Amino acid sequence: MEKNGIIQDPDVLDTWFSSALWPHSTMGWPENTPELQRYYPGSVLSTAREIITLWVARMVLTGRYNIGQVPFHDVYIHAVIQDGQGRPFKKTLGNGFDPVDIIDAYGADALRFTMANLSTETQDIRMPMKKVKLDNGREVQSSERFELGRNFCNKIWNAARFAFMNIENTPMDRLDVAGLPIEDRWILSQVSKAAVDVQDALDKFQFSRASILARDFFWDCLCDWYLELVKPRVHDDRKADEARQVLAFALDQSLRLLHPFIPFITERLWRQLNEIVPNRGLPGVAELDAPELLATAAYPPAGGWTALTAPDADAVFDDLRNATRAIREIRQNRNVALKDTVDVTISVPAQQRVESLRHEAQVIKQMAKVGELTIGADADRPPNAATLVIGDMQIFVANVIDAAAERKRLEKDLAGLDKQIAGIEGKLSNAGFVERAPAEVVQRERERLAELQAKRQTVVMHMGQLG
C-alpha cells in the first residue's frame, strides 16, 4: 500500500482505546480545563452488559491512570428489549419496532412508563410484536404491552380532571391534621410513605419498583379509595374545604412523583393545577413550592412528610380496606347485585380494633354497600353467612349462601390446609433441614405453620356453625 502512496495516519487509536478515554478526553484532557474539573468524575453510566469489558472496564483503567479517579460512581447495566421469542431486535430480522411508531400509536408517556415498569434488575424485556393500523391508516410494528402505559395515562388524566372540578379556588387554611377524618389522615400518611418508597427505589436504580409504587399510590390509594370516599364531602359545603385541601395537596404530590415516568401529561396537568389552586401546601405542616414548570419543582422529600405520617390511621384503614375487599369478594362470588345492600358481621379479637372499626364503620358501609353492620370481639356468625378470614379478622355476609354448598367448600379448604400443614410439619421434623437451613428460613416456616393451623381452626369452627 505504501508503494501506491497510501500512508498510515500516525494519530489513529483502536476504537475501544479511544472510547476508553471518552470520559476525560471530551472534557479537554490532557489540559486541566474548567469542564474537566466540573464534570469529571460523572455520577452514573448507563450501558448494556455486552460491552462491560470492552468499554466500561477500560474507562475505569484509563481514568485511574490519567486522572487518578474512576470516571463514574455507579454503572447501571440495563435490560435488553427482545421480541416475543427472546431474540434481540435486528434490522435483518425485521423483528423490532420504531419508538416513533409507538409514540404515534400509544403516546410518548405510555412508551416511557411501560419501559420503566418492565425494566427490572435481572430480566430482559420481551415484547411480542404484531402489526397494528394507526388512525391515519399507516401500518406499524407494535406490542400490546404498551396498553399498560396508555391505560394508566388515561387514568391520571381522568382522575385529575375530576379533581380539578372540585378543588378550584380552594383556600389552603391551616389544618388540624390529627383531627381530620380517617380518610384524610390516611391519604396524607400514604403520600409520605410513597415519597419515601419511590425515592428509595430510584436511589437503588430499581426503576420498575419505583414506577409500580408511584402507580399503586395514585391508582389504588388516591383514586380507588380516597376519591371515592370524599365524593360526598366535596359536594357538601359544610365538609368540603378540608377534603378539597387534602385532595389538592395529594394531587400535587402525585404529579411530582409521577413526573420522571410520565413527563408530558403531568407537565400539562401541573400547569392547569397552578391555574386553579396556585398554593397547595398545608400551612405549618407541609410547605410547597409551585414553579411554572413541574420539571423544576422539588421532588417529594426523600424522608417523607414526618408531620403527616400516621401509623394509627394506617393500621385502622388497613382493617377497613381488608374488610371492604372481603365483602366485595363475597358479593361477587355470590352474585349479589350491585344495587342490593348486604348485612355484615365482623369479628376481631382486640377490643381496641373493634372500637376503631365501629367509629369508622361508615367507610365500610359506603365502599361495600352494607346495610346493617355488626362489629364485635366475639361476634356470632349470622345464619347462612358466607365467610372470609383476613389474618385474625373474620367477615360474615349474611343470607347469601347455600349451607350444603358452603360445607362442601369448607371441606375442600380444610383438605388443602391439612396438606400444607403436613408438608411444613414434615420439613420441620427433618433434622437436616432445621440444622442446615438459614435460621430466618426455619423461623419463616414455623410462622407459616402457626398461621395455617390458626386458619384450620377457623375453618373447623365455621363447619361446626353450619350444623
Residue 219 is part of a domain; what is its CATH number?
1.10.730.10
Residue 225's domain comprises: 149-309
Q: Are residues 70 and 201 in the same domain?
A: no
213-237 average pLDDT score: 94
Residue reference for cell 472496564: 57
* Nearest Cα residue to 105 out of 135, 83, 145, 84: 135
**pLDDT on residue 467:** 61
Q: Is residue 106 part of a domain?
A: no
Between 466 and 77, the more confident residue is: 77
Cell triple for 221: 390509594
* Banded model confidence at residue 397, pLDDT cuts 50, 70, 90: very high
In a domain, 92, yes or no: no
**Cell digits for 152?**
394508566
- d(CA 24, CA 12) in angstroms, rounded, equals 18
Asked if the model's pLDDT at residue 268 lies above 80, the reply is: yes
238 in a domain, yes or no? yes
Is the domain of 366 the same as that of 442?
yes
Rounded mean pLDDT of 153-182? 92
- Is residue 402 pLDDT above 80, yes or no? no
Shared domain check, 367 and 290 = no
382 in the same domain as 280 = no
In a domain, residue 131? The reply is no
* Total number of domains constituting the chain: 3
Would 370 be classed as within a structural domain?
yes
Does 305 share its domain with 334? no
Considering the domain architecture, whether residues 214 and 294 belong to the same structural domain is answered as: yes
pTM of the model: 0.82
User: Is residue 342 domain-shared with residue 435, that is, in the same domain?
Assistant: yes
Confirm whether 299 is domain-assigned: yes
User: Residue 296 burial (CB < 10 Å; 0-12/13-18/19+)?
Assistant: exposed
Give the model's pLDDT for residue 121: 81
C-alpha count within 13 angstroms, C-beta hemisphere, residue 132: 20
* One domain for residues 271 and 373: no
Query: Do 252 and 392 lie in a common domain?
Result: no
Considering the domain architecture, whether residues 302 and 264 belong to the same structural domain is answered as yes
